[in-house]
Amino acid sequence: MMNLKHNLLKNWEAILAGILILVGVVILARIYGPLLNNEVKYQFSTKGKNVAVLGKVEQAEKIVAENAGMQVIQPIDEIFGIVIPKISANAKVVADVDPNDSSVYQEVLTRGVAQAQGSANPGEKGNVFIFAHSGVDFSQAAQYNAVFYLLGNLKTGDDIFLFHNGEKFHYAVKESKIVAPEDVKYLENGGTDEKITLMTCWPAGTTLQRLIIIGERVN
């Protein structure tokens, strides 16, 4: 009888251990899944080569691109969206978000990336400032920063596309830099050129510094 109870106890311990391991795997997959998914897609992608980014109205261009064997990417949101082919980023942009109010932008960044309040709109002279944050640890990084997780792989000349009210705007990366969190001059609007600034926390999963990507309008 004692042996039976002992064996039952061991069985229940084994089952409980298995359940805890399974729960742990599910939690880890939920936390790191978006980041790992982006990394895997990047490693096996064409790095933005032989890709055409086309809106719904560009049906003729889509047919030509497909006949040429190109990969066609359509934006998730043509009212306001961003596509960066090299890093497989394709996200909604939430407009007019206060970058100084974390209670506002953290919720926004669960739905896409954010356009800083007061920055230019695509097609206007000035600076379209779009940001995402990586949170204070990797669990938050997965929730808030998966879209811009690979932003550091962008190089001079790489393509960035914005869609705004159904119109497409093409930018090319001009420079990238790591700056201090208090360096807010990149938020400034104005000037006669049309440019875009992308920002995320760096390294991912920290709030130590900021990665800044600056691009200029191509067409």
CB < 8 Å & 24+ apart, contacts of 75-80 = 75/161, 75/163, 77/112, 77/163, 78/163, 78/165, 78/166, 79/163, 79/164, 79/165, 79/166, 80/115, 80/162, 80/163, 80/164, 80/165
Contacts of 217 (CB under 8 A, 6+ apart): 169, 170, 171, 193, 194, 195, 196
- How much is the pTM? 0.80
Mean pLDDT score across all residues of the chain: 83
**pLDDT confidence bin for 59, thresholds 50/70/90:** very high
Place of tokens 């991912």: 204
Q: Which domains does the chain have, with CATH numbers?
A: 2-217 (2.40.260.10)
**Whole-number pLDDT of residue 10:** 66
Q: Is 205 within 8 Å of 148 (Cβ atoms)?
A: no
Q: By mean pLDDT, which of 36-50, 122-136, 144-158 is the weakest? A: 36-50
Of residues 87 and 162, more confidence is placed in 162
Whether 16 shows a pLDDT value over 90: the answer reads: no
Give the chain's count of helices (H) and strands (E).
Answer: 4, 10
Q: Is 83 within 8 Å of 71 (Cβ atoms)?
A: no
The separation between the first and the last C-alpha atoms of the chain, rounded to the nearest angstrom, is: 82
Distance separating alpha carbons of residues 67 and 52, to the nearest angstrom = 12
Summarize pLDDT for 147-160 with one digit per residue, the tens.
Answer: 788 888 999 999 99
Whether 166 shows a pLDDT value over 80: the answer reads: yes
